[in-house]
Structure 1
Amino acid sequence: MRLQIGMVIGWMAAGLVGAAAQTTLRIYTGNQPRPEVMREIVDLYMQRNPAVKIDIDTGGTTPEQQIQSLNAALALKEPVVDLLLVDVVRAAQLAQAQWVEPLDGHLGAEKEAVLARYLPALRAAGTVNGKLVALPYAADAQILYYRKDLLDKYGFSPPRTWDELKSAAQKVIEGEKNTALRGLGMAGAPVESTVCTYLVPLWGAGEELLKDGKPNLGGPAARKPFELWADFKAAKLIAANSADVATDRVRQDFQAGNLVFALGWSYFQGRFDGDAESAVKGRVGLEAVPGFSLGTQGGCLGGWQVAVSAASRNKGEAVKFARFLASPEVAKKQALQAGTLPVIEGILADAEVLAAQPWFGPAQNALRTARARPVTPRYPEVSDILRTNTSAVLAGTKTIDAALADMNTRLGAIFK
């Protein structure tokens, strides 16, 4: 707590000093990859706008410290921060607390034209109760990674359904006779990615977590995610200890050459091709996450958004900078220099971008089919309900019926 208070006091002091000379904007960036690219973006904006000075704060050295310090700063409702980069799942929480500024009035007649350039799922993630509270800054999506060399060797195309994936994985493992090789890696520990371990097969079965604002887990589709993973576990395609597997462990196992398929995020690709010790460099294919039938592919949407603090004393300048961060120019710069999936669909097909990041081509389907997790101010509770129950079923400490009963009861208390 002392650390958080110190950071907040530092933010306030710096803001007061800077105010005398020029407009000073403070942006909270959190745990952003490639911070040097953000530094270049900020410097470029200041060069073009010499009356504006921009300070960058990460909020701490660990993700936990960063979230705590940001929450402490925003809770003061004082002008200690002007803009913030936030995970796509946090917009509703910040909006309910009235910590972020609705942008509709600031964009005015330009709003629809501005939003039209973004992927629909990204637009939805920044809209809460009909109000735009954040603009897309960096995109991410769950991707099905696969060993292209092995699928080619055994004559398989990238799977579009779970049955196709199972069939391909079994044939490859049978043919390779490698006891270290498993069929599929996915998160099963009680971490955020495990929310998607439940949601994605639910969506792939043609159902939604919520319908008309109420929990929708009473039908047979609600069991499908648990039954899918039980089937894969019985077939020895996923790890026996899958309830202990966190997100980056999936990346490590695939990168070591021990998985045929892996469900992961876009940062995996940079490690697969960039790490010196990678055993799969040049052997990786990408596809949208499978569904139970054709046309139901798609994983979870990820990424970052830029919001303006409701307490900022420089909202006009903050909105201008937010629009720059969410612009095609910045999206292309990030794609070229940081390998970040662009929030603007047209840049996915840009020739210069594809030359620099050829994996964007096959990643397009994964990004276009990605779906937002529930947009709710109580998302942290929803996340906890889904990931802990999913992990418990994978561990065998909870039955499917017990997990669904708990999920329905607790979600029902949230969405009354």
Structure 2
Amino acid sequence: MKKPHTLAGTLLAALLLAGTAPHALADTKLRAFAGGSGQRPDLMRKLFDQYQQRNPGVTIEVETGGATSELQRQYLGTVLNAKDTSIDLFMIDIVNPAQYAGANWVEPLNAYVGEPAVALKPYLPAYAQANVIDGKVAAMPAFADAMFMYYRKDLLDKHKISEPKTWDELAAAAKKIQQAESDANLQGLSIQGAPIEGAVCTFLLPYWSQGKELNDASGRLTLDKDAAVKGINQWLSMVDQGVIKKNVAEVKTPDTVNEFKAGQVVFAINWGFAWDRFNSDKDSKVSGKVGVMPLPAVAGGKSATCLGGWQWSVSAFSKNKAEAAKLVKFLASPEASKFLAAEGSLLPTSLAVYQDADVLKAVPWFKDAGAVVAAGRSRPLSRDYGQVSDVIRTSVSAALARTKKPEEAVAEIESRLRRVMR
């Protein structure tokens, strides 16, 4: 969706004002790792350009890479474990601050942004909680994310079907539409079953909606095995009904986006960035036909969604920590959040931006998105999150591939996580 030129100009002017005051600097080169396409490094480059205009002594280089959160985590883990000084600041998933701080890979930001209670007060509680480790600000929020249920509004309207509230209702609605449309390529529901980070959420969504918790306040495992098996069986039941395709264990985040965009899916679970792809990409066949709703629940349960989002951290090995921290403070500002929301449909990390008139004019669906994000659930905030993620996603993918029974997959998750989440 092309945004009004006047709005873009207003936002860029505001960003200039949000930068640090002009001051004489020795030339400082900063290198930022801005993730993959899902983190919109193209928009981050525009923010960097604005910062450079306000701070003429600073030059910012951008490094990108890694199509998924785990690939980015693997790369950064290699770089930071080697104490490489080439990267000054980097973007990380909401699940990573505890892990990175525990490994002493990030520079505490208290001295640059203030104490946690003040520095993170404007942000949604989940982001304030995730970014403060042992009383130290380990990262600052870049933009939020959450899993949404996207659906073909035109098809539900055509077949006079209301938004389903439970997974069983969704399966019935999808099956009805598939049969009526007589399109062999039309999937009822697309979820991520490949052994990627999205599969962690695929496991948690039906589990949480039964009112269950994976861990307690201290981080200890509280897995309800029966509920976990029921959740996996919920997905397998939809595979057997022809609602979810049989090779679900191979489906990755971009696959869901591309197939829904091509008009081949009725319902799709995906992250917030997908909205812009569905409605703005030139090759999208569903532009203007997309609806968004809260995720369904297991019968008798309550809707729950998986919270995501990205944060900026300063490398503990940077030779330009003070300047990198100033840049991070700028990137986490309300003005930067407003720019990313209006220009790229990237979800804000503070409720105030969801209510901004300019943002709502550019991205009307944010009117309802704020409540979904605010009520989102966070994956375990563990110093060993890499292990937690690996256990869940590989076991769940195996169950969806039917190389393991759900009971075996859940038993494996419990056994391995008990050693990690103590």
TM-score interval (norm. to shorter) = 0.7 to 0.9
Paired position in structure 1 for 2:101? 95
Aligned counterpart in structure 1 of residue 119 of structure 2, from 114, 117, 129: 114
Paired position in structure 2 for 1:8? none
For 1:1-46, what per-residue CA distance to the aligned partner results, in whole angstroms no more than 9, with x for missing partners? xxxxxxxxxxxxxxxxxxx933443332232544343232223223
How is 1:277-356 mapped onto 2 (pairs within 5 angstroms)? 277-292=283-298, 296-356=302-362
The structure-2 alpha-carbon separation of the partners of 1:168 and 1:362, relative to structure 1 and needing over 3 Å to count, comes to farther
Aligned counterpart in structure 1 of residue 268 of structure 2, from 262, 265, 268: 262
C-alpha displacement at 1:79, in angstroms?
A: 4.4
Aligned counterpart in structure 1 of residue 239 of structure 2, from 227, 233, 237: 233
C-alpha displacement at 1:291, in angstroms?
A: 2.1
For 1:161-180, what per-residue CA distance to the aligned partner results, in whole angstroms no more than 9, with x for missing partners? 32332232233234333333
Q: Write the distance in 1 (CA, Å) between the matches of 2:346 and 2:173.
A: 30
Residue 192 (1) aligns with residue 197 (2): yes
Q: Write the distance in 2 (CA, Å) between the matches of 1:116 and 1:78.
A: 32
Q: Is the 8 A contact 1:59 1:66 kept in 2?
A: no
C-alpha displacement at 1:204, in angstroms?
A: 1.0
For 1:350-371, what per-residue CA distance to the aligned partner results, in whole angstroms no more than 9, with x for missing partners? 1111211223234334323322
The one-letter amino acid paired with 2:164 is: P
Aligned counterpart in structure 2 of residue 242 of structure 1, from 241, 248, 262: 248
Q: Is the 8 A contact 2:31 2:63 kept in 1?
A: no
> Tell me, what secondary structure is at the counterpart of 1:92?
helix
Residue 164 (1) aligns with residue 176 (2): no
Q: Write the distance in 1 (CA, Å) between the matches of 2:235 and 2:94.
A: 27
C-alpha displacement at 1:66, in angstroms?
A: 6.1
Structure 2: tracts of 5 or more residues without a match: 1-24
Q: Is the 8 A contact 1:124 1:372 kept in 2?
A: no
The one-letter amino acid paired with 1:210 is: N
Paired position in structure 2 for 1:178? 183
Q: Is the 8 A contact 2:276 2:344 kept in 1?
A: no
The structure-2 alpha-carbon separation of the partners of 1:92 and 1:319, relative to structure 1 and needing over 3 Å to count, comes to same
| Residue range with higher mean Cα deviation, 357-366 or 299-308 | 357-366
Q: CA-atom RMSD, angstroms? A: 2.6
Residue 132 (1) aligns with residue 137 (2): yes
| Residue range with higher mean Cα deviation, 326-335 or 353-362 | 353-362
Paired position in structure 1 for 2:226? 220
TM-score normalised per structure 2: 0.85
Aligned counterpart in structure 1 of residue 396 of structure 2, from 378, 390, 393: 390
Q: Write the distance in 2 (CA, Å) between the matches of 1:61 and 1:187.
A: 17
- Give the number of aligned pairs: 396
C-alpha displacement at 1:130, in angstroms?
A: 4.4
The structure-2 alpha-carbon separation of the partners of 1:347 and 1:401, relative to structure 1 and needing over 3 Å to count, comes to same
Aligned counterpart in structure 2 of residue 412 of structure 1, from 406, 415, 418: 418
The structure-2 alpha-carbon separation of the partners of 1:73 and 1:189, relative to structure 1 and needing over 3 Å to count, comes to closer
For 1:147-197, what per-residue CA distance to the aligned partner results, in whole angstroms no more than 9, with x for missing partners? 111112233332333233223223323433333322211011112111111
C-alpha displacement at 1:330, in angstroms?
A: 0.4
The structure-2 alpha-carbon separation of the partners of 1:58 and 1:240, relative to structure 1 and needing over 3 Å to count, comes to same
Q: Is the 8 A contact 1:289 1:298 kept in 2?
A: yes
Q: Is the 8 A contact 1:160 1:294 kept in 2?
A: no
Aligned counterpart in structure 1 of residue 363 of structure 2, from 354, 357, 367: 357
The one-letter amino acid paired with 2:142 is: Y
Q: Write the distance in 2 (CA, Å) between the matches of 1:81 and 1:287.
A: 39
% identical aligned pairs: 42
Q: Is the 8 A contact 1:324 1:330 kept in 2?
A: yes
Paired position in structure 2 for 1:54? 59
The structure-2 alpha-carbon separation of the partners of 1:198 and 1:65, relative to structure 1 and needing over 3 Å to count, comes to closer
The structure-2 alpha-carbon separation of the partners of 1:379 and 1:270, relative to structure 1 and needing over 3 Å to count, comes to same
TM-score normalised per structure 1: 0.86
Q: Write the distance in 1 (CA, Å) between the matches of 2:183 and 2:243.
A: 13
The structure-2 alpha-carbon separation of the partners of 1:361 and 1:231, relative to structure 1 and needing over 3 Å to count, comes to same
The structure-2 alpha-carbon separation of the partners of 1:291 and 1:46, relative to structure 1 and needing over 3 Å to count, comes to same
Q: Write the distance in 2 (CA, Å) between the matches of 1:289 and 1:322.
A: 33
Paired position in structure 1 for 2:51? 45
The structure-2 alpha-carbon separation of the partners of 1:116 and 1:292, relative to structure 1 and needing over 3 Å to count, comes to farther
For 1:205-254, what per-residue CA distance to the aligned partner results, in whole angstroms no more than 9, with x for missing partners? 11111234322224422222112112212222111221122222212222
Residue 379 (1) aligns with residue 385 (2): yes
C-alpha displacement at 1:385, in angstroms?
A: 0.9
